[in-house]
Structure 1
Amino acid sequence: MTARLRGEAGQAFPIYVVMVAGLLFLAFAFFTVGKAAALRNGAQGAADAAVLAAAQESRRQLEAPFLASLPESMLDMFLQAHPVTGCAAAQAMAAENDAKLTPPKCVTMPGGERDEIRVDVKTLKPVGASVVPGMKRTFAKGHATAVIEWRCPKWRSVDYNDDTVQDMYFFTCRGGEMLAISPSSPPPWEQVSKILFDVHLVDS
């Protein structure tokens, strides 16, 4: 009787070993999946931050061409033709979030009163060695799109001296905000740019 019990225990031991090995494999696999998911979230966060940085920098750089368009009443032409810049800011922000831009890196799509910027990023670090094949060289990727949108569809200009040079612009913006800008002595750009141009993420 005792010998038979010992025989059964000896036969069960390999089964236990296989079960423990299987559970360890599953644990490592779940850990890898969780790490990959966290890395994907990080990549998407890096993409969002990078494209917003590019859009905000573009809005900042619009100051000179925007103000130059006002005295000669060329605001409509500015809105249709102004360049979208700021991709260097996207690269810097991606690096701060342990990622880098990937081709086509920073795509700008000027569209008049609504311009778009899209970035694609890849994490600098892979998922790493794992029981799951291929993860050692697998990097997480993300992409995001932001828009720079003109918020003041209604405006009028005034030429006080009748010299064809516009002396004052009055803007009516979304949300009922009112803004007056004198081309000869404009207010600080950081105070008015967020009223004139909205920057936000969009689904891409």
Structure 2
Amino acid sequence: MADWLGLDGPIDGADCAVADDFAGRNGAVITRCEPGTVFDAEYTVEVRTREPIGNSVIPGTENEYATADATAVIEPRCRLAPGDEDEGGDRGRDPVNLKCDDRDWSLDPDNGDTLPEASDLFSVHLSE
């Protein structure tokens, strides 16, 4: 669990499909999506509009496409509470306690009613 919270696990690029869907709903297509490494929890995405700019006050842009790129960085908001550090053993069905920026969570496998959202566990900001 500590590896997962600290973003020390593999980044497989599955989120590029989500980025592609989001771009599509905004009239664009992804031209590049690169997940970071295990140590760089980030994604760099480049997009291009589906349609050219069209008629504009700038001559010669009728057939040009708008492009943009950004790098999103994912940062953990939580850490395991003292005493809950992963010791590599089987915790069984014991609750896991998290200390987060805005709230502390107790994740009880026998009570799934109070699970945090992804936004409670991680923050995302643009770095470029």
TM-score, structure 2 normalization: 0.73
Post-superposition offset of 1:188: 5.1
Q: Percent identity, please.
A: 27
Query: Which secondary structure does the structure 1 equivalent of 2:112 belong to?
Result: coil
**What is the total number of aligned residue pairs between the two structures?**
119
Per-residue CA deviation, residues 8-43 of structure 1 (Å, 9 max, x unaligned), is: xxxxxxxxxxxxxxxxxxxxxxxxxxxxxxxxxxxx
Distance 1:115 1:186, change over 3 A: farther
**Cross-structure match for 2:96:** 169
1:169 maps to a residue whose letter is V
**Cross-structure match for 2:18:** 89
Higher-strand-fraction structure? 2
2:106 maps to a residue whose letter is A
- The question of 1:126 aligning with 2:71 is answered no
What is the alpha-carbon distance in structure 2 between the residues aligned to residue 149 and residue 186 of structure 1? 27
Alignment of 1:136-175 (within 5 A): 136-155=62-81, 156-157=83-84, 164-166=89-91, 167-175=94-102
Higher-helix-fraction structure? 1
RMSD of aligned Cα (Å)? 2.7
Structure 1 unmatched runs, 5+: 1-74, 159-163
Distance 1:192 1:129, change over 3 A: closer
Distance 1:87 1:100, change over 3 A: same
Post-superposition offset of 1:77: 3.6
Query: Which secondary structure does the structure 2 equivalent of 1:146 belong to?
Result: strand
Q: 2:41 aligns with which of 109, 115, 139?
A: 115
Query: Which secondary structure does the structure 2 equivalent of 1:157 belong to?
Result: coil
Query: Which secondary structure does the structure 1 equivalent of 2:78 belong to?
Result: coil
